[in-house]
Amino acid sequence: MNVLAAAYRWLDDNGPAFGAPGLEPRWTSSRKDAVSTAYAASSRVWFTISHGTLNEIYYPTIDRPQIRDMELLFTDGETFFHEEKRDFEYDFHYVDPKALAVRVVANDLQGRYTVAKEFISDPHHPVVLMNVKISGEEAVLSRLKCYALLAPHLDGGGAGNSARSIEIAGQRAILAWKNNTSLAMGVDCGFTRTSCGYVGASDGFQDLASDMKMDWQFGQALNGNIAVMGEIDVSMHREFTIALALGDGHHAALAGMMQTLATPYDLHSKRFVAQWLRANSPESLAPASTDGGRLMRISHNVILTHEDKTYSGAFIASASIPWGASKGDDDLGGYHLVWTRDMVQSATAILACGRTDTALRALVYLACTQRPDGSFAQNFWIDGTPYWTGIQLDEVAFPIILSWRLWKVGGLGSFDVFPFVERAAAFLVRYAPVTQQERWEENSGYSPSTLAAVIAGLICAADMARGHQAFELASFLESYADWIESHLDEWTTTREGVLHPDIKYHYMRIRPPAVGEPFHNDSIAPGYIHIANRAPDEKYDFEAREVIDAGFLELVRYGIRRADDPLIIDSLKVVDHCLKIETPYGVCWRRYNHDGYGQRKDGGPYEGWGQGRAWPILTGERAHYELAAGNDISSYITALERFSSIGGMMPEQIWDYADLPSEGMYLGRSAGSAQPLVWAHSEYIKLLRSTVDGQVFDRISAVAERYAVSASERTFSSRIEFFQTGRPITNIPGGLTLRILDPKPFRVVWTMDDWASTIHTDSHVVGYPGSYADIATTPDQTGSIVFTLYWQAEDRWLGKNIAIEVG
């Protein structure tokens, strides 16, 4: 049980609590959402602020949450006990509009005193600073005590933490630790008293809540779920600065804390803001916004914030944990991980801001995490250690696309990116078109959004190969991309749609693999997909034609399909019929119908199941399509700006049903998932750049010039069918060439006359993608091609014959 849960338990017994089940909230705000922002150091730490209090803190060398809750408590010892989360009204703003220095001004509900707090970090040490100024009625302040309450979750969990009250350089402070990570908490004026306790039993909240006085001064609490507290005498110190320092060992944390507190807060603050001002927000994008550029500046800084400060170039998905208050120690994988999908979105948005050097750092980092086979882990810690292990083909394609973008603007410097690109392209050739997971990380099969990225990635790789004089490789990669593109509508659509009364032919979310294809799920019926995250009493398996998302819009984004393609237009009608949500702040869309990843229907947190909610990022994706279609998109830009929190944080999901005040859920406002989602901020930045440019920034010229043209304007035709042992085919039309592909050189032994005659054809090596052998057919040919394979270097035969019908 964490501090917040303990507080709920006590208040359930003794009085109303904000967020306690079935009780009315006491905390109020100027807007219908939590006053919150994610916010990071210019140097060494990230952290988040929620309800005006310090929440998770991340120490980059470990990249796991170090603090789950830190707040201030106030009491006069006799008549009141205030917890800032519940008993204050807040005013929130940035100290400077171009810097992530935050000021929160809180007033107690009776208006007797005001607490003004500023949050920054030491630009040179892993130390978070909270400067506090207290003003109000002298009769109150002369008796007021402030208590800093901290619940450390070091090294990724609340269990097994330890803490001790200490004296250092003549001042009382607190030291906490777990494994090799240490945390020091101190204040520039020194704590008058400290205590270390166990959450729910002997922590400082329990102490003060019982009689409004600090009666306990426990010297240490070892190996448990702990909370520590330090007392500050407000009657003597109306302004003070609290420091939270992290380090690899006690000395590092303590020295960092003391060195930081040795410098006056005002000097730290000036340095912090000055460093952010050097980041130079892209003011050229401000005219495209509808809020004067406010969210643009915040988004630009939020993206920069999420680049790790130890592993340069590593962009995490979010400095937040979705539904973190309900997570336990057994779930370490919040969004403070690297996904190549999200990371490339961040790097591309930064490129849209003109920061070529930052995008290059991201690319070099990715090159250092690439596996020998050209792939990437589904996600990984910032040191490159894999976390989840799924194969997502778009996450292999995106780094190729980023490489191409930097190559086209001359942003690669001295980095030879071509071997990196060739290996990634080879992986796509070996595994595409079937992905183990699509971009929502849940299902296998033929995904329109994944295949859009794969086609674009292969064409980018081919363009770069030609630029590096590798003409044969370029032609081969183009032929593979053309083959996928020629089958795209066949693989990813239904002609028997059931979602819209007037539209039968439309894109699906994903077509599952057939029997014999990679990643086929034989536990469900053919043609069905299994949807995770649904409630225990709900249906899990659906026909593929029953499920749609708007991922096919990626085909327009990159230039594989035109915006006026009738299939695109009809599919959008189905999407709007099933997924579109109108809110007071603008229009938004759910990911797909039957989605279970989101706030539960009763407003409770997602805990393995729930109800998928509307994602602001999808408003940005729709806006990009509308721009490509030549339509006005200002309303979409406004919607994104209004979906953000009072601190300008873009949520992953918004509540998309009627207001539910008892759970803090309001239509169009942030739900309990990640906030901010850096991908959403990146989409917004790119949308502004697209508006300024008058065309989609993500559009890839080499792709659009090849595919987004009329049939008469195409300069090629796809006349090849690919066969791989991992994804066999059973027939080809006459007149096409059968291309047999394998990672290793081989000989194909084949016949067209039932072995009356036998032909031996050696494969041709084409670099990392492997080797291939072609067997041509004529337009009027019928019958079968029968073949087997022999790998000379291994003296190994396939061990069976393969028959492919022609006609």
Options 89, 441, 517, 543, the catalytic residue: 441
What is the distance between the alpha carbons of residues 766 and 430, in angstroms, rounded to a whole number? 13
How far is the CA of 195 from the CAs of 73, 263, 442, in angstroms? 14, 26, 46
Find out whether 472 and 766 touch, Cβ atoms under 8 Å: yes
441: annotated active-site residue: yes
How far is the CA of 378 from the CAs of 2, 220, 374, 428, in angstroms? 30, 41, 13, 15
DSSP 156: G
Burial class of residue 196, CB neighbours in 10 A (0-12, 13-18, 19+): buried
How far is the CA of 494 from the CAs of 505, 511, 546, in angstroms? 5, 9, 9
Instruction: Let me know how long the chain is.
Output: 807
Residues in a beta bridge with 121: 128
- Closest listed residue to residue 730, CA positions, set 486, 516, 521: 516
Strands 127-136 vs 239-247: parallel, antiparallel or unpaired: antiparallel
Burial class of residue 44, CB neighbours in 10 A (0-12, 13-18, 19+): buried
Q: What tokens does 425 get?
A: 């392209």
Contact residues for 624 (Cβ-Cβ < 8 A; gap 6+): 553, 556, 557, 683, 686, 687, 690, 696, 698
What is the distance between the alpha carbons of residues 178 and 157, in angstroms, rounded to a whole number? 9
Q: What tokens does 186 get?
A: 């101190």
Q: What is the DSSP string of 360-425?
A: HHHHHHHHHH--TTS---SSB-TTS-BS-----HHHHHHHHHHHHHHHHTT--TT---HHHHHHHH
- Closest listed residue to residue 327, CA positions, set 495, 158, 178: 158
Q: How far apart are the first and last CA of the chain?
A: 67
Q: Where are the beta strands (DSSP E) in 109-202?
A: 113-121, 127-136, 145-152, 161-168, 171-178, 181-187, 193-198
Contact residues for 689 (Cβ-Cβ < 8 A; gap 6+): 282, 285, 288, 352, 353, 697
Query: Please, how many CA atoms are within 13 Å of residue 220, restricted to the half-sphere of its CB?
Result: 11
- Closest listed residue to residue 247, CA positions, set 403, 122, 422: 122
Options 118, 438, 442, 641, the catalytic residue: 438
What is the distance between the alpha carbons of residues 502 and 71, in angstroms, rounded to a whole number? 56
83: annotated active-site residue: no
What is the distance between the alpha carbons of residues 468 and 474, in angstroms, rounded to a whole number? 9
DSSP 512: P
Q: What tokens does 591 get?
A: 């990911």
Rg of the chain over CA atoms, in angstroms? 29
Q: Which helix (H) or strand (E) holds 741?
A: strand 737-742
Q: Characterize 290-307 residue by residue with b for buried, 16 or more Cβ atoms within 10 angstroms of its Cβ, and e for exposed.
A: bbebbbbbbbbbbbbbbb
Strands 586-590 vs 614-615: parallel, antiparallel or unpaired: antiparallel
What is the distance between the alpha carbons of residues 36 and 18, in angstroms, rounded to a whole number? 16
Contact residues for 532 (Cβ-Cβ < 8 A; gap 6+): 442, 540, 596, 597
Residue 805's CB is within 10 A of a number of other CB atoms, namely: 12
Residues in a beta bridge with 299: none
Q: What tokens does 323 get?
A: 């539904």
Q: What positions carry a catalytic annotation?
A: 438, 441
